[in-house]
Amino acid sequence: KGFEELLASRNIPWVLRKMILLATETIKFTNLGDARWETEHQMLTNKAKYAFCLGEEFITRGMDGFDHKV
């Protein structure tokens, strides 16, 4: 609620606001066994896949193109 108004207050153009509001994200988790997991994130134009072990810190490249410690 109020997301479009927030985007407008940040001077996001109308067409881009509508595209953002229509965007959906799908997240899929897959158990690979032995506390290992894989997750897939998919948006309109971006797709990212991460594999990790529960309880272990790792560094991965995010959808923004930067490395993140997770």
Q: 1-45 pLDDT, tens per residue?
A: 888 999 999 999 999 999 888 888 899 999 999 999 999 988 877
* Res 30: pLDDT: 97
Buried (b) or exposed (e) across 15-42, using 16+ Cβ within 10 A? Answer: eebeeeeeeeeeeeeeeeeeeeeeeeee
Question: With a threshold of 0.75, does the pTM exceed it?
Answer: no
* Res 53: pLDDT: 93
* Res 36: pLDDT: 95
* Res 20: pLDDT: 84
* Res 70: pLDDT: 85
